[in-house]
Amino acid sequence: MRSPSRACSLPPRRLLNVDSLFGDVPEGFRSGFVSFVGRPNTGKSTLTNALVGQKIAITANQPETTRHPIRGLVHRPDAQIVVVDTPGLHRPRTLLGERLNEVVKETYSDVDVIGLTIPADEKIGPGDRWILDNVRSVAPNTRIIGIVTKLDKASKDQVGAQLLALHEMLAEHDKDAVVIPVSAKDGVQLEELVGVIRDHLPEGPKFYPDDHITDDDTNKRISELIREAALAGLKDELPHSVAVEVDEILPNEHREGVLDVHAIIYVERPGQKLIIEGKEGRRLTRIMGTARKDIIALLGQNIYLDLRIKVLKNWQSDPKSLSRLGF
């Protein structure tokens, strides 16, 4: 069996080797996996970052920003919570969408708690019910808690009405349904949410050392930071066509302590390449500047970022291209 380590992803609970887990724990210690589900832009990644206490998942205004499960660790004296940030469950339009949905459903079937996120300022609609029904179909025995997000964007009356509506929807299948309001942006009710999640986890060991934050590898985190910078300001369908791959990371031959990061932004059509470049290359320059700052913060050292744009025709629907990009 595989055991969790700094160099590999945490395997599902059913594959864990308990003998190789980390450290003694007090009596009653709880540990387990939680994943947040909801429509695009309901604050799932922002909530994940806030709970972990560090940016591990990128955020953007566009839907379907998250493209692979990201595991972040929440450490408390009486619990260790593995937060699994996943792509949003959605009606797929491409082969990429189908593959992402498969990953999401597999993740939901293996976690201990699922948090259904509903923004405080948006009424519950058919899309929310569709997601809840799909989650229940793949994880019928998993506890679902309701989370009203973005308190900072709604009045107290709106929040109260949303809490009642969400409780009513969950109570159709769970008479003991729990709902909680939070604001990841302002840090409101986050510890209360941690407590609710902890109460629904089984007693168990630590899966990771106390200083572990995420199991995402460095190259993947760098590629996501570049993609986040590239998505800023994009509209319509173009964000879905953007993918990033880190080609290589090497010590700079002429500047001691500097790393050369070589990466590629992929788009699907030549016209999209022109949009990413911007007039006289100014947009690409902004992307490089923003991403470089974030990568320096991640690595803790100076870098030179070499960023190129390539057209990979219809990569979202091409099996070979998807495999090349890790999907």
Cite the annotated binding site for GTP by residue number.
38-45, 85-89, 149-152
HSE-CB for 81 with a 13 A CA cutoff? 27
Angle at 215 between CA 203 and CA 12, to 5 degrees: 50
DSSP string, 79-127: EEEEEEE-PPP---SSHHHHHHHHHHHHHHTT-SEEEEEEETTS---HH
> Binding site: which residues?
38-45, 85-89, 149-152
List the one residue out of 285, 318, 294 whose CA is nearest residue 225. Answer: 294
CA 80 to each of CA 39, 47, 75, 158, 205: distance values in angstroms, whole numbers, following the listed order: 27, 17, 5, 33, 8
Query: CA-to-CA distance for 111 and 202, rounded, in angstroms?
Result: 11
